[in-house]
Structure 1
Amino acid sequence: MASNPPAECCVRGFIHEGTAKGETKKIGGTNIYFSYPKESNKKAGKAVLILSDVMGIRINSQLIADYLAACGYLTVMPDLFHGDGLTPDSFKPGSGFNLQEWLAKHPTDVVDPVIESTVKLLREEYKIDKIGGVGYCFGGKYVCRFLKDGKINVGYTAHPSFISREELSTIQGPLSISAAVNQLLFGRVEVDEILTTALRHESEEILAKVGLPYQLTLYGGVSHGFAVRGDLSNPDIMFAKEQALAQALAWFGQYL
């Protein structure tokens, strides 16, 4: 694996505060969150497709979508889990929740069609020429799966989970990655159990062989999930989260 399968750390985190500015529409049986740019800064023919972490369409990702829309991109986020997204409370003691059973309900042959139909919607109904894919945790795998000609043109992922070597080695577009540093520094744990140091190095080797533009940026003082579920009362985590989003925007500005 280029990154490990999801684990409890993929659910741990914080619900962020804010009010979503977009709207959710049900299209073809799937709920899709849309956030629209103002006409004055609209980037014609370009859109961003957010493939979420295991929480699905929730305020954390909606606020990110709204920010990307404010930067000029039509931004859409399909519900990959058909209403079965998780929350930080899913692992509460006594809940009886089993992550592996949950993952078994959402394999690639169930998730792929949701993304396929959303890409088709953007291409045919919204006349989008170029799509940037943003994948957090669970969604990072699917950015790589769909980073193909005619699908997603440019990819960005933060702390991705369970990407296979084959998926990473067959991407056909530029890819940017945000990752947490894995070390114990000054008594502070900085760790990503999913994208470990060894797997990160392996991923770099794979991307170098692919030969397409890629970027891998490390953030200290944070753990897995920092870019979407971090504790924003912590200034270091807040800074890393904002810089990771700025990284995605800079990448799209260059390649999308």
Structure 2
Amino acid sequence: MKRDIEITTADGIARASIFRPKGSEGKVLPGVLYYMDALGPREATDIMGERLAAAGYIVLLPDLFYRFGSYGPFDGSSFGNETARAEIMKMIRETTQEMTKKDSEAFLNALEAEGVSGPVGAVGYCMGGGRALTAAATYADRIAAAASFHGGNLASEAPDSPHRLAGDIRARVYVGVAGVDGSFPPEQSARLAEALRSGGVDHIIENYIGMSHGWTVPDRGETYSEKGSERHWKRLLEFFSETLG
């Protein structure tokens, strides 16, 4: 069951969607903060939000690009369009990790307003993967589990690279890596693993051999893998069940 809401942040009003299991109004359920991929909220993310909610969670999917007002709409074919790709890349560059870090306090408060109590889970895809890890480090007392799937630049040379915050993470971490992914090459995977080990983080980094960046999302055309996506769902739901109950 989806309901659209607006969230007041320090920089404006963020559009967002809440997903709940049917018949769950008034029930106390664990919460999950869902960080979108680079194509923004759309039918495909709604499908994923609904499925996660059906497993027993209150899910919040915020629009990380809210500062740009109206944009798109985009779908899995948009990267093949030069104009759309340029718009997407501009929004990615100009929506910094620091912005999402700051926004995430309002996002977590929005989950609380829905009746979520106790630590929550975070999951991110593509650009959202790094946001989930950054949020887990920034709000260590509020996020108990953080997952990234085909997350890009999780351990880059950038000053705001999520791996630099590993020492602040108290959540369990799961990272699902595409077999071939230019945004997260093997050297970054090794760097992330070392940072998480050194930081004492309970973590798993799993390589999905044969999968491409974006394999989990159903509107990504030939990149999408039904088999690989179902494997991701199994891992994610087990991870949250073990950690959040």
Deviations 1:30-74 (A, max 9, x none): 21111111347x983411110011112111111111001111101
Aligned residues of 2:30 and 2:57 also touching (Cα < 8 A): yes
Q: State the AA in 1 paired with 2:206.
A: T
In 2: Cα distance, 1:232 partner to 1:168 partner: 34
Q: Distance in 2 between matches of 1:226 and 1:202?
A: 23
TM-score by length of 2: 0.81
Identity %: 22
The residue matched to 2:99 in structure 1 has which SS? helix
**Residue of structure 2 equivalent to 1:162:** 153
**Equivalent pair of 1:91/1:97 in contact (CA under 8 Å):** no
How far the C-alpha of 1:254 sits from its partner, in A, is 1.0
Secondary structure of the 1:222 match is strand
- Alpha-carbon shift at residue 99 of structure 1 (Å): 5.5
Q: Of 120, 128, 144, which residue of structure 2 is paired with 1:131?
A: 120
Output the amino acid matched with 2:60. Answer: V
Of the structure 1 ranges 224-233 and 113-122, higher mean CA displacement relative to structure 2 is found in 224-233
Number of residue pairs aligned between Structure 1 and Structure 2: 226
**Separation in 1 of the partners of 2:204 and 2:222?**
28
User: 1:109, CA displacement in angstroms?
Assistant: 3.8
Shift of 1:220: 2.1
C-alpha contact (below 8 Å) 1:177/1:216 kept by paired residues: yes
**Distance of 2:41 and 2:198 partners within structure 1:** 35
Q: 1:179 to 1:230 in 2, by over 3 A?
A: farther
Q: Distance in 2 between matches of 1:95 and 1:52?
A: 17
Tell me how far 1:233 sits from its aligned partner.
7.2
Partner residue of 1:48? 32
* Residue in structure 1 matching 2:5, options 25, 28, 31: 25
Matching of residue 145 in structure 1 with residue 134 in structure 2 = yes
Distance 1:26 1:94 in 2: 28
Tell whether 2:199 aligns with 1:210. yes
Once the two structures are TM-superposed, the CA of residue 139 in structure 1 deviates from its matched residue by 0.8
Paired position in structure 2 for 1:60: 44
Runs of 5+ in structure 1 lacking a partner?
Answer: 1-20, 182-190
* Residues 1:175 and 2:178 are matched in the alignment: no
The answer on whether the counterparts of 1:143 and 1:155 sit within 8 Å (CA) in structure 2 is yes
Residues 45 and 129 in structure 1, CA contact (< 8 A), matched pair in contact too = no
* 3-state SS of 1:221 partner: strand
2:240 aligned residue: 252
How much does 1:25 deviate?
1.6
Q: Return the offset for 1:146.
A: 1.1
1:79 aligns with 2:63: yes
Check if 1:34 corresponds to 2:18.
Answer: yes
Contact 1:38 1:72 in 2 (8 A): no
User: Which residue does 1:16 correspond to in 2?
Assistant: none
Contact 2:32 2:120 in 1 (8 A): yes
- Give unpaired runs (5+ residues) of structure 2: 155-160
Question: CA separation of 1:124/1:230 partners in 2, compared to 1, >3 Å: closer, same or farther?
Answer: closer
Hey, what's the Cα distance between the residues in 2 that align with 1:169 and 1:91? 38
TM-score, length-scaled by structure 1: 0.78
Q: Secondary structure at the match of 1:44?
A: coil
Tell me whether 103-112 or 238-247 shows the greater mean CA deviation.
103-112
